[in-house]
Amino acid sequence: MTKAADEQVTHGTTNVYADLGLPDAEGQLLKAQLVSRLADVIAVLGISQTEAAVRIGLAQPDLSNILRGRFRGYSIERLMRCLVALGSEVDIVIRTQPGQEPETIHVHR
């Protein structure tokens, strides 16, 4: 199979939400990364969505929606707290200038 001479390939960035022109692309990417990590933690713990939902304090269908990418109604903070409820620690690193010593905020139980 050959490409037509006038066919162009557009390369995306590392943020699909920005590539699609969606509002709050950076926030959506961060949420997606947190949800991906949440799914990883659930798998490592070897627990069901039902058990994870109980530990987090959500209904299982709500957790299922989050894990399937339907997380628009959930804040970044709430997703971080879901990770903490499953035993993870979340660190927020703040640098105001390149090369400056970072300040780290720890979120844990």
- pLDDT for 55-103, tens place per residue? 999 999 999 999 999 998 999 999 999 999 999 999 998 888 888 888 8
For the segment 9-44, what is each residue's pLDDT rounded down to a tens digit?
A: 878 888 888 888 888 889 999 999 999 999 999 999
Alpha-carbon distance 70 to 64, whole Å? 9
Contact status, residue 38 vs residue 82, Cβ threshold 8 Å:
yes
pTM: 0.81
Report whether 41 contacts 86 (CB < 8 A).
Answer: yes
Amino acid identity of residue 72, one-letter, is R
Structural domain 20-107, CATH architecture? Orthogonal Bundle (1.10)
3-state secondary structure the chain: CCCCCCCCCCCCCCCHHHHCCCCCHHHHHHHHHHHHHHHHHHHHHCCCHHHHHHHHCCCHHHHHHHHCCCCCCCCHHHHHHHHHHCCCCEEEEECCCCCCCCEEEEECC
